[in-house]
Amino acid sequence: MHDVAIIGGGLAGLALSVELSSKGYDVVLFEKNTYPFHKVCGEYIPNESVAYLNHLGANLNALGAANINQFALSTLHGNKMSSTLPLGGIGISRYTLDNELANISKTRGAKIFDNTTVLSTEKSKLATTAGDFEARIIIGAHGKRSTIDKKLNRPFIQKPLSSKDNFIGVKYHVHADLPRNLIELHIFKNGYCGISAIEDNKYCMCYLSKASNLESNMTIDELEASVLSQNPILKDYLTRFEKVYDHPKVISQIYFQNKEKGNDTLIYAGDAAGLIAPLSGNGMSMALHSAHLLQNEISQFLDGQQNENTTLINYSNLWKKAFNQRFRFSKVMQMAFFNPNFMNGLVKSANIFPPLASTIIKQTHEKAFFKG
């Protein structure tokens, strides 16, 4: 019997694994892919998480993370604005960062089973493609949407996906001639595309599009040619920037929403506990921060200071306090971004009155949650 079993080795699962194994608990983590691997993500991490990543042992400078402190935006109609990023952030690929945290976990004593899918859970038991396991507590850190959610028949899985709430995400790594301290966001019809520097002189180009943009049988190339390229800046980038790997990473059925934090079998962390729109640039920070909140509650459970029910209640309350307001704000931002006239007006106003831009940007960045 292990102390903790973690389903999913993204940022939430890996941060929990590093923290709990560093405290001497017996941790086992299952990741269905094999490290290192690419993931759809804009790969921009606000500085609020940097102290925590350092605490986990990630050497961001040695990994080549880019420092980002400038922001630029273009609307569908080609209006542009730019601003400094008051709190700033870093750019690093998930390929590199997740792999680093998996290696740190192993050195702290966690048993990492990659290339291993969790098929089902029941009370303290897990069935995986590497056999059956048992743990005192099981954490679901399996991301946006997983077979595990279907097995557990979670409420968000039962809701039919309406086409207006259903998104696809696409990511490339490219070679670009852009400043390395700049993150750009370019709007297209029913979507937006971000581009910013990562390690090794590369850039991450990642977009989110309503699934309804993809007409029947349309390929990703056709989507980019007919929809994204209506924005002249994106047209230029898509034709000019050399792709590091030919085929983009693509995910579908992305549905942004807050979710329940656990049940009598599992406690959820990261996107499995709530998926925030990437506009606020905070999904990774929320995954890390939620893991940090949860590790403290789990430690108390494992040390016999509280039962599993209290652990879940305490964690749910901490989660709400930390993230509910962010969730509401990201919904408002997402609605605004899909309204071209509103965005045109906003960009024009921000150009006339620059403090407006930094006031809005400040809402998307928080102060460091880990003080050390």
Ligand X SMILES: Cc1cc2nc3c(=O)[nH]c(=O)nc-3n(C[C@H](O)[C@H](O)[C@H](O)COP(=O)(O)OP(=O)(O)OC[C@H]3O[C@@H](n4cnc5c(N)ncnc54)[C@H](O)[C@@H]3O)c2cc1C
For residue 32, give the 3-state DSSP assignment: coil
For residue 261, give the 3-state DSSP assignment: coil
For residue 352, give the 3-state DSSP assignment: helix
Q: Which is nearer to ligand X, 108 or 145 (CB)?
A: 145
Tokens of 295: 């590790």
Q: Which is nearer to ligand X, 141 or 267 (CB)?
A: 141
Listed in sequence order, the residues at least 6 apart from 92 whose beta carbon sits closer than 8 Å to its beta carbon are: 43, 45, 60, 63, 64, 65, 66, 198, 199
Provide, rounded to whole angstroms, the least separation between the CB of residue 201 and ligand X. 19
How many Å apart are CA 16 and CA 29, to the nearest integer?
10
How many Å apart are CA 12 and CA 270, to the nearest integer?
5
Provide, rounded to whole angstroms, the least separation between the CB of residue 307 and ligand X. 25
Identify the residue whose tokens are 């019997």: 1
Q: Which is nearer to ligand X, 55 or 354 (CB)?
A: 55
Q: Which is nearer to ligand X, 213 or 306 (CB)?
A: 213
Q: Which amino acid is at 26?
A: D
Q: Which is nearer to ligand X, 43 or 366 (CB)?
A: 43
Provide, rounded to whole angstroms, the least separation between the CB of residue 353 and ligand X. 27
Provide, rounded to whole angstroms, the least separation between the CB of residue 83 and ligand X. 17
Distances (CA, A) of 345 to 198, 337, 357: 32, 12, 12
Neighbours of 297 (CB within 10 A): 22
Q: Yes or no: say if 169 and 40 are a contact pair by the CB < 8 Å rule.
A: yes
How many Å apart are CA 22 and CA 224, to the nearest integer?
45
Q: Which is nearer to ligand X, 178 or 306 (CB)?
A: 178
Tokens of 250: 């693509």
Q: Yes or no: say if 4 and 25 are a contact pair by the CB < 8 Å rule.
A: yes
Provide, rounded to whole angstroms, the least separation between the CB of residue 73 and ligand X. 15
Provide, rounded to whole angstroms, the least separation between the CB of residue 172 and ligand X. 12
Tokens of 292: 């940090």
Q: Which is nearer to ligand X, 25 or 172 (CB)?
A: 172
Provide, rounded to whole angstroms, the least separation between the CB of residue 252 and ligand X. 10
Residue ranges binding ligand X (CB under 6 A): 7-13, 30-33, 39-45, 117-118, 141-143, 146-148, 169, 206, 208, 254, 270-271, 278, 281-285, 287
Q: Which is nearer to ligand X, 233 or 276 (CB)?
A: 276
Provide, rounded to whole angstroms, the least separation between the CB of residue 5 and ligand X. 11
